[in-house]
Amino acid sequence: MIKVGESAPDFTLAAHNGGSLSLKSLRGAKVLLWFFVEANTPGCTLEGRGFRDHQSYFDENNIRVVGVSFDSIEDNAAFARRHEFGFPLLSDADHVVAIAYGACAGPEARYPDRVSFLINERGAIERVYDQVDPRDHPARVLADILGV
């Protein structure tokens, strides 16, 4: 798994809204790269809603939330619509990004691990969240950032 202080691997993936998103395009803002197991599962839904419900706090602190899963673009789009997510969900169907970040065991993995990476404005890993509880993960990230 990638470690704090290392450069975040750049990527470009298809987003649920029909476009694509590259990490490089988000330079100048912090990025919370949120790997989620599968769209519309109970834990991922709870976690995603937490990010949605705290969206204004992330925005106020110049943090872009970006979800990544192995789901299809269509499944991610349905997930985002159903729960009114205002952040992009990216499809890493070939597992390349998850492997680069160490967020899955390898190309045969069925799901990515439940892990998030806070990437600073210059593209370096600032924090790794590898012990994620979907019930409080978004609030925990904010508490860390705000120093509460």
Task: Name residue 76's amino acid.
Answer: N
Instruction: Give the H/E segment covering residue 119.
Output: strand 115-119
Catalytic residue, chosen from 13, 15, 44, 125, is: 44
Task: Name residue 71's amino acid.
Answer: D
SS3 72: coil
Determine contact, residues 109/98, Cβ cutoff 8 Å. yes
Q: Is 44 a catalytic residue?
A: yes
SS3 38: coil
Structure tokens given for 110: 């069925």
Active-site residue numbers? 44
